[in-house]
Amino acid sequence: MLPACPGARGLGARAGRGQGGVASAIVIIGGGPAGRAAAEILPGATLIARPALTAWHAEPGLVWTEGTHGVEPVPFERLLLCADEPLLLAALGAAFEGQRPRVDTTGATSLPGIYAAGVILGAATREEAAAQGRIAARALAGQPPGGRIQIRPLPPAPALRPGPAALLAASGTPAASEAERRRLALPVGLCPARSVSLAALAELAGDMPAPAPLQEDVERLA
Amino acid sequence: MTAPDAIVLGGGLHGLSAALHLARRGRRVLVLEKDRVGAHASGWSAGGVRSLGRDLAEVPLAVESLALWHRIAELVGEDCGFRATGQVKLAENDAEMELLAARADRLRAAGWAHEEPVDRAELRRLLPAVAPHCVGGLVVRGDGFATPYRTTLAFRRALETAGGVVQEGRRVIAAQRRGSLWFLRTAIGEPVSAPILVNASGAWGPRLARHLGEGIPARFAAPMMMLTDAMPPFVTPVVGATGRPLSFKQLENGQVMIGGGHRGVGDLEAGRARLDIPRLAYSARTALELFPLLRSTRIAHMWAGLESIMPDEIPVIGLSTRFPGLVHVFGFSGHGFALGPIVGRIVADLALDGATDLPIAAFRPERFAGGVVSTALPQPAG
């Protein structure tokens, strides 16, 4: 059973704050065949789709978006990623096998409540992507999935040295394409998944925040 | 290799620099790195080479290290991307300018003249794109920046050329002193032993100290940074702020690196960190307010590294008071990159001679019994 959600929103709808503090229980990222098919199964979900709204970063419980209204966080309890944005899953801490997120036959990733479908899993046709979107949406909603997702493996990713300096050297910025940058960034989990306007991000800032507390290590050597 | 004379824990810049100096003094050195060389602070640093604004205790080391940076190729065979662009600490109002002027006076009184107050006109000459409200600054013209990962690899190559051995993926799970040797067990591979052990484990350094019964009160943090898309050249020196955290530089490819100390959330077990977007937003706002021409650019990368932070924000560099043959060198508190070249020499001195000619009493591991005092200006990470 789906939890109560704010009213259904269309493709590329502006989402995020301003929902009376109620978390959007389910968020779908991607307005392609998989995302649209999933939205039909999950009519109360928030759909984040380019070009109106771009998901540029994710953290547990939040997708960060940029749109015509600036940068905003969109809260979620469950998430279905139908866009080719593996760095969003990497930022959340999902497990990967090569360049693909590790998922089961319903698209469930290694993280509870977070699913993937469509082009990010290698769907070769629009029909296959839509079918994957429906399977993952049903599974996410607790319904029988009605099928199995077949993962299409990618060739192993090249080993990448650590650190942004290595990434920048390898990608040859600024000339590298967005896709190349994301491919190279995945093994080190660099953020953000897509670039974001500095000015729009700055608009989010309020007063200078207090320093984040230092953290204590209490673990043992072994 | 045959039985090593020294084992260095940590394949970051400080561990590799220590290993290089030990190897150049004829010792057989083994570096054990739990992940990969440069995988943590040394790979994620902003690369600032800064003597400006440091705690007075760090100033002699920073000045000595800066001299080494200016001839870094003699040490490791390449320039490590070092550029002596200068560093500027901005004053955004008269009160901050007074603070900076007082700092320069205090430094001169201590015998150091490298920090130079500059007025509004000179600030604009140095930083034509700076916001009009900035009233002046404090400058060290010989400071600059380098490329962190490239630097770390250069130290590794120099070490290996000198006969040192680096083993990656070897996490130490036990350490014990028996007789005249340190015995280490690692998660994989055979146990190793040597008379000298250097703890250069960065954010994990306090864990080894604790394992050995030395309670060094370090914490850890994950300083965050951002990198913009490439922009036309508009700023040459590295820029910091006085009243709020900021480290700001434009790289040769035109990208602008923005950091300075806002922290994410680190995870030592996973070896990674989570970003804090609202705090990054404040960094973006600070950068934009100081350099309005950033308004049209986009942020291409964001990251956070894992750093060990000491209560007084200066490092631990010193011999253990409990065990012979053990040197602790960690806790650089987000601004250790610049000290890397000189710290290696100091560690080798301590390990082989029991002393060094540089003043390091302020960094002794056992110093925290008597409270904490800092003499630094607010320091940006990196």
Nearest-Cα residue of chain B relative to residue A178:
B300
Q: Which residues of B touch A180 (CB under 8 A)?
A: none
In whole numbers, what is the pLDDT of chain B averaged over residues?
Answer: 94
Give yes or no for a contact between B16 and B159, defined as CB atoms under 8 angstroms apart.
yes
Look up the CATH number of the domain holding residue B233.
Answer: 3.30.9.10
The 8 Å CB, 24+ separation contacts for B210-213 are B210/A221, B211/A220, B211/A221, B211/B174, B211/B175, B212/B175, B212/B177, B212/B320, B212/B322, B212/B323, B212/B326, B213/B322
Same domain, B243 and B275: yes
Q: Is the pLDDT of residue A21 over 60?
A: no
Which pLDDT score is estimated for A166?
52
CA B105 to chain centre: 26
Closest CA to A154 of A84, A93, A201, A210: A84
Q: Find chain B residues with C-beta within 8 A of A181's C-beta.
A: 300
Could you tell me which chain B residue has the CA closest to the CA of A220?
B207
Choice between A111 and B245, residue whose per-residue pLDDT is larger: A111
| Residues of chain B neighbouring A208 (CB-CB closer than 8 A) | 244, 282
- A3: pLDDT strictly greater than 50: no
Per-residue pLDDT reduced to its tens digit, B66-93 = 999 999 999 999 999 999 999 999 999 9
Q: State the complex-level ipTM.
A: 0.91
Q: How confident is the model at residue A14 (pLDDT cuts 50, 70, 90)?
A: very low
Q: Determine the pLDDT at residue A96.
A: 85
Beta strands per DSSP E along B34-155:
48-49, 87-91, 116-118, 136-140, 144-145
Residue B329: per-residue pLDDT: 98
Q: CB A222 to CB B280 under 8 A?
A: no
Between residues B223 and B93, the one the model is more confident about: B93
B326 plus B244 within the same structural domain: no
**B324 within a domain of the structure (yes/no):** yes
Give me chain A's average pLDDT, please: 80
pLDDT tens digit string along B102-156?
Answer: 999 999 999 999 999 999 999 999 999 999 999 999 999 999 999 888 899 999 9
The HSE-up count of residue B312 (CA atoms within 13 Å, CB side) is 23
Contacts of residue B71, Cβ cutoff 8 Å, sequence gap at least 6: none
Lowest average pLDDT, out of B175-184, B207-216, B289-298, goes to B207-216
Residue A75 pLDDT exceeds 70: yes
A193: number of CA atoms within 13 Å, CB side? 22
Q: Structural domain of residue B280, as residue ranges?
A: 83-144+219-309
Instruction: For residues A32-36, give the mean pLDDT.
Output: 98
pLDDT exceeds 60 at position A20: no
Residues B283 and B231 in one domain: yes
Please give the pLDDT value at position B281.
Answer: 96
Q: Is there a domain that residue B77 lies in?
A: no
**Residues of A whose CB is below 8 A from B276:** 212
**CA gap A56, A195 in Å, rounded:** 7
Burial class (CB in 10 A: 0-12, 13-18, 19+), B210: middle
H-run or E-run covering B61: helix B59-69
Q: Are residues B128 and B187 in the same domain?
A: no
pLDDT at A181: 54
Q: Residue A122: left (phi > 0), alpha (psi -120 to 50), or beta?
A: left
Domain boundaries, chain A: 24-156
- Percent of the residues in chain A that have a pLDDT greater than 70, as a whole number: 73
Report the alpha-carbon angle B196-B198-B203, nearest 5.
160
B258: pLDDT confidence band, cut at 50, 70 and 90? Answer: very high
- Whether residues B91 and B198 fall in one domain: no
Reply yes or no on whether the pLDDT at B268 is more than 90: no
Looking at the structure, tell me whether residues B259 and B159 fall in a common domain. no
A43-81 exposure pattern, b = at least 16 Cβ within 10 A, e = fewer: ebbbbbbbebbbbbbbbeebbbbbbeebbbbbbbebbbb
Q: Do B159 and B271 sit in the same domain of this protein? A: no
Amino acid in position B5: D
Question: Is the predicted pLDDT of residue B167 greater than 50, yes or no?
Answer: yes
Query: Among A163, A195, A209, whose Cβ lies nearest the Cβ of B44?
Result: A163
**Single-letter code of the amino acid located at B63:** V
User: What average pLDDT does range B160-186 have in this prediction?
Assistant: 96
The reported pLDDT for the residue numbered A178 is: 56
Chain A nearest-CA residue for B186: A222
Residue type, B239: V
- Output the CA–CA distances (angstroms, integers) from residue B334 to A184, B40, B286, B292, B310, in the order listed: 26, 12, 19, 27, 10
Q: Please, which pLDDT band fits residue B369 given cuts at 50, 70 and 90?
A: confident
Q: Rounded CA gap, B40 and B17, in Å?
A: 16
Instruction: With beta carbons less than 8 A apart as the criterion, state whether B254 and B295 touch.
Output: no
Amino acid at A6: P
Q: Tell me which of A114-118, A201-205, B298-302, B343-347 is least confident.
A: B298-302
**What's the number of domains chain B is made of?**
2
In the three-class reduction of DSSP (H, G, I as helix; E, B as strand; rest coil), residue B102 is classed as helix
Domain boundary residue, one of B309, B335, B355: B309
Res B315: pLDDT: 97
* Phi, psi for B211 (deg, rounded to 5): -60, -35
What's the mean pLDDT in A64-87? 95
Chain B nearest CA to A14, separation (Å) = 19
Q: Does residue B227 sit in the same domain as residue B296?
A: yes
Partners of residue A26 on adjacent β-strands:
A78
* Band of pLDDT at residue B235, cut at 50, 70 and 90: very high
Judge: B298–A198 Cβ closer than 8 Å, yes or no: yes
Alpha-carbon gap, residue A137 to A106, rounded angstroms: 9
Q: CATH says A24-156 is which class?
A: alpha beta
Instruction: Using an 8 Å CB-CB cutoff, list chain A residues near B47.
Output: 165
Of the two residues B222 and B159, the one the predictor is more confident about is B159
Q: Give the range among A31-45, B166-180, B266-280, B335-349 with minimum mean pLDDT.
A: B266-280
pLDDT of residue B199: 98
Which chain A residues are closer than 8 Å to B297 by Cβ? Answer: 197-198
B8 or A15: which carries more pLDDT confidence?
Answer: B8
Say whether A214 and B275 touch across the interface (CB within 8 A).
Answer: no
Least confident of A108-122, A180-194, B122-136: A180-194
Q: Considering only A36-50, A121-135, A188-202, B232-246, which range has the smallest mean pLDDT?
A: A188-202
Whether residue B209 sits in one domain with residue B258: no
pLDDT of A16 reads 37
pLDDT class of A125 with cuts at 50, 70, 90: very high
Residue B48 lies in a domain: yes
pLDDT of A10 strictly over 60: no
Poorest-confidence range of A162-176, B133-147, B202-216? Answer: A162-176
| Domain boundary, last residue among B257, B289, B309 | B309
Of A191, A195, A215, the CB nearest to B298: A195
- Global pTM value: 0.88
In this structure, is the dihedral angle defined by the CA atoms of residues B26, B365, B335 and B55, taken in order, positive or negative? negative
Please state the rounded mean pLDDT for residues B155-170: 97
Residue B190 and residue B180 share a domain: yes
Q: How confident is the model at residue A155 (pLDDT cuts 50, 70, 90)?
A: low
Query: Is residue A15's pLDDT more than 60?
Result: no
Strand runs labelled E in B219-280 = 219-228, 238-241, 247-250, 256-259, 263-267, 272-274
Could you tell me how many residues make up chain A?
222
Residues B164 and B38 in one domain: yes
More confidently predicted of A54 and A93: A54
Spatial separation of the C-alpha atoms in residues B82 and A88, rounded to whole Å: 34
Q: B268, B283, B309 — which closes off a domain?
A: B309
Task: Pick from B82, B272, B277 the residue to mutate for testing the A interface (most A CBs within 10 Å).
Answer: B277
- Percent of chain B residues past pLDDT 90, beyond the cut: 82
The answer as to whether B272 is a domain residue is yes
Across the A:B interface, residue pairs with CB atoms under 8 Å apart total 169
The answer to whether the CB of B222 falls within 8 A of the CB of B264 is: yes
pLDDT digits (tens, 9 = 90+) for B299-344: 988 988 888 999 999 999 999 999 999 999 999 999 999 999 999 9
